[in-house]
Chain A
């Protein structure tokens, strides 16, 4: 129905008692409609801060050397001088460049205060330094490498397939909308809203802490790209239904009902009671 016809109708029925209601409904429809105007998809493919040539850093002896020095000052107290592990931190032999890059770029390493789980925080190393650290650890022994640009090429992946894979592989911990969820003993699967595509990829191939590893047999490269596409979609998907209440599901809906809705109705009931006097 075009707006034109709606206005025509309205003017004819302006005096009708239901007019106010109709106006209200129409107004609400349009407000609701505005929400569904799509937000544009993210166009940062990898989520990396600067375009750097990862392959050359990984094989460059100078950056491995630089990584060695950074490691000795920032990491060796817990992981040992040769990354062999101590009582304060596990060995890093064989964890691969991907794991180091993930841990350092998400600010998890170097580890801060001990708790149930190492948390994401603002990284203290630059992107270049974290790549140097990764190069150093990878030079000790091979392991999962940092994903290449071809592996990260998720833009053309299948969104719906990604959704299905996300629901069967990730939602049981990270929840349907990727907003995170609690695990046992104070551990939790974090919200994925801050993770960049490269971090998502690295998380899948390295399985940090309680998270399982998704190697290329469990999820192929294309499937990983589809998952990334779905997570990127979740980050700024439109809300056809209006306010989303944090996308936590029925708990926040219930809280909203008992505070706002019931509150408004009781206020109205009291107001009517006062009016009567």
Chain B
């Protein structure tokens, strides 16, 4: 099936193109091979594409904005067409953003497209990451691409934050001020670092133009390079596929790049683009004119960052106000350092290294091209849900004031509850998820052994009623049987054959313990013999039912006259 490429006019058109290029670059072999490259198909594989398309839309709409935006902190008096700000002193940066919004044709729509696309970009990258995580797509040989992905996510967040800060409105200024507070909190070098970054006291005159270069050149450049590397790697290593009939660890089943996959991908690009334009035309985002210009002594209630920064805001809000002062030397602002630098640093390090961490625990060095169903790896799925819970609690805490306002609750009560939840909820989430996975494994085993219940009842000669089961379909069977057993490491020997002590024995023992814990609860798949006798049994049941010719539906009570 992997080579069942549609023959016909389209193939001819490919041949034409290939010939044209070959006449000039003699690349026919390469192109032909790659045009026929097969891509597996599943909606969740589109998540990475949404990220890619929103990035393209960001580049296009952002370019338009650069024509009119001025990254300058010079103070001017506003004289544009937005009356509620007429005559107000503000930075050129803010004034030019107002100009884009009210005086440039299509400017407001472009701004809203750019901002909605930015939110969508980070969101789709994050959901794509979750897809890759929960299906085990990051396993060997794709660890490096996972690492690149982590880099992409980090950069996407920084890119979003830097862009969000450019208009110099009250909300973004408040965000930047917090960022400067974070830089200042770095022990010893904080003050110097802050002077370096901001070119003097915050906000300073230089910073906006530096931030601008970072936002329109530096980060997009790196993103572009990394995305290219990311996609080339997907290309080269081939895409993983979900288990199914005929799909193995050694083939790829799907559609050829041209024309099917290209047509679908192109169509999907326009869907993403269309939805973004529609939303941007109808729904306000970041109404900077309503926030007013940034003035250091002003702040508004409900100051919030964009969604992807919310969790850091939340961690800061949850953090107790701890500070250590070393007299005469410096103050260690743990209340800022832990939630905004140490915690995210730790979280992203663990995220980036996760493929290697899992590999070390399981000792699984095999290459995997077939995706794993989340239930078949309960500990990974559990850890993932645990991390998500942790993140979600931080995220919710970032909006604690809005929640307090909307639900009429005390902000202090919410904060205390969330602190407790941050510690208690993730482990609970882990245990529950793992339990659910294991019971799903049980269910799968039942299905394999006893087939699918049909809802029809059969009366046995003894008078007993049983429900008739049908063997599961081949497609489903292939999925159920796709599970690869999780390896369990052997107990390490304390000495080798020559009596030499094993180095790092404690680490090996720990590794063995973890690998044991990782795989010990797995519900074993039925053996071949068990499967065969089970199938026989089901078929027997069915034929007996046919012989009797009695078919009772589940809903009607068994007629008593038969007794």
Contacts and interface: CB of A to CB of B under 8 A. Distances in A.
B264 interface: yes
B306 A250 contact: yes
Contacts of A241: 101, 108, 112, 283-285, 287
B88 A164 contact: yes
B275 A261 contact: yes
B305 interface: yes
Given A182-B411, A240-B101, A254 B119 contact: yes
A175 B278 CA distance: 28
Contacts of A21: 270, 274
A168 B274 CA distance: 40
Given A28-B278, A243-B283, A244-B287, A250 B405 contact: no
A152 interface: no
Given A160-B84, A264-B275, A273 B43 contact: yes
Interface stretch (A95-103, A127-135, A184-192, A215-223): A184-192
Contacts of A260: 279
A249 B279 CA distance: 16
Contact of B305 (A24, A186, A250, A276): A250
Contacts of A268: 268, 271, 275
Contacts of A124: none
Contact of A160 (B85, B116, B272): B85
Interface residues of A, number: 65
B41 interface: yes
B131 to A, nearest CB: 11
A205 to B, nearest CB: 22
Contact of B109 (A28, A163, A258): A28
Contacts of A149: none
Contacts of B292: 163-164, 167, 171, 176
B127 interface: yes
A167 B84 contact: no
A182 B301 contact: yes
Given A160-B84, A184-B411, A175 B300 contact: yes
B472 to A, nearest CB: 20
B335 interface: no
A245 interface: yes
State the majority secondary structure of interface residues on A.
helix
B410 interface: yes
Contacts of B301: 171-176, 180-182, 189
B267 A272 contact: yes
Contact of A273 (B42, B85, B102, B270): B42
Contact of A168 (B281, B295, B306): B295
Interface in B88-124: 88, 101-102, 106, 108-109, 112, 116, 119-120, 123-124
Contact of B286 (A250, A261, A266, A269): A250
A173 to B, nearest CB: 6
Interface in A78-137: 116
B251 interface: no
Given A28-B281, A240-B101, A265-B271, A250 B307 contact: yes
A33 B412 CA distance: 43
Given A175-B300, A176-B170, A185-B410, A243 B88 contact: no
B412 to A, nearest CB: 6
A132 to B, nearest CB: 33
B410 to A, nearest CB: 3
Interface string B290-313: 111001011111111111001000
Given A174-B301, A242-B284, 19 more contacts: A167-B295, A171-B298, A173-B301, A176-B300, A180-B301, A181-B302, A183-B411, A186-B404, A186-B413, A242-B282, A242-B283, A253-B286, A254-B307, A257-B307, A261-B120, A265-B271, A265-B275, A268-B268, A268-B275
Interface of B: 41-44, 46-47, 50, 83-88, 101-102, 106, 108-109, 112, 116, 119-120, 123-124, 127, 170-171, 255, 260, 264, 267-268, 270-272, 274-279, 281-287, 289-292, 295, 297-307, 310, 399-402, 404-405, 408-413
25 contacts: A32-B282, A160-B83, A160-B86, A171-B301, A173-B301, A175-B301, A175-B302, A176-B170, A176-B290, A182-B301, A182-B404, A182-B405, A184-B410, A186-B408, A240-B287, A241-B101, A243-B283, A245-B283, A249-B302, A250-B304, A250-B307, A251-B310, A251-B402, A261-B120, A269-B50
